[in-house]
Amino acid sequence: MKFCNVAIVGATGAVGEEMRAVLEQRDFPIGDLKLLASARSVGKKFSFKGEEVQVEELKKGSFKGVDIALFSAGASISKEFTSAAVDAAAVVIDNSSAYRMDDAVPLIVPEVNPGDIKKHSGIIANPNCTTIIMVVALKPLYDYSRIKRVIVSTYQSASGAGAKGMDELLRQANAFVSGDDIKVEHFAYQLLFNLIPHIDVFQDNAYTKEEMKMVNETRKIMGDPDILVSPTCVRVPAIRAHSESINVETETKITPEKARELFAGAPGLQVVDDPADKQYPMPLFVSGEDDCFVGRIREDLSLDNGLNFWVVGDQIRKGAALNAVQIAEELVKGWSRN
């Protein structure tokens, strides 16, 4: 692999910090690492491969000499600074929603559509976390028999709302134990002991923006504009890792036994499916893992060619930081071959 210079934009956020950890854990071939954030974070130091790296203020001139810029600071920051990075000859891998549905920007999950990376013109988009976790599981089924329809209900942890979301859930738990008033600041309602069927803003069609991301991004990633997707996204009081209950209708029947075989042979998936021994994926055990875990695989009793299964993935890792780094790894492989 070619050694390259990497910048992380939003380096002090939950995903930015995870990006740094993943780069080190996977021994990504870095020549120089830049940590970029807002002015209030300047001077903070983080360890990387045994050395301290100091956070610098994000400016339009920050990208000189950078080969790959990993952005995770929100859509408004991406729109403001990505052109400066591209003008400096860096390839941007953007974790925000800014470019996901731009026809000129590939939307990549390396286990699903790595070949689309070569279509980039300086910017590659990282999909939404819920979409990533779902399409990793859909891909092996789709390759065996085209998926006509997907009905998905998500159980999204506090980590999906970033560090502030996780902190609020922990504060609410501490307040409950201490007998103090439970305060709600970040979520629409108290998350502790509750479920909130509302993630992001509602659209005119009564679906939320988060739900419509799953519809539109799945079609783009799978390269199938006709696949039907009906999502319901719910915030749950788990700290980390998202869960999804998925029902698919395929053109030809896929038995549960065949589905287990397909899942087991697919990259980025592990099968945990032994109900008799109470073995099934849960956020408690999937948090911190790179792979997505699938279980509760069973036939849909109400539909011919229908299949139900349950998928859990770490939203901060595979749903964000890891996926971005995997895209960077694919980029560097391509450079090494050229």
Catalytic residue set: 129, 242
b/e code 80-100 from CB counts within 10 Å (16+ = b): ebbebbbebebbbbbbbbbbb
d(CA 150, CA 284): 26
19 membership: H or E segment, kind and range: helix 14-25
Helix (H, G, I), strand (E, B) or coil at 60: coil
Distance between start and end Cα atoms, the chain: 11
d(CA 292, CA 132): 10
Angle between helices 129-144 and 209-222 (to 10 degrees): 40
d(CA 287, CA 313): 7
Tokens 């600074």 label which residue?
Answer: 81
CB 225 within 8 A of CB 138: no
Q: How many CB atoms lie within 10 A of CB 57?
A: 13
Q: What angle do CA 322, 18, 279 make, to 5 degrees?
A: 65
Q: Which residues contact 49 (CB under 8 A, 6 or more apart)?
A: 24, 30
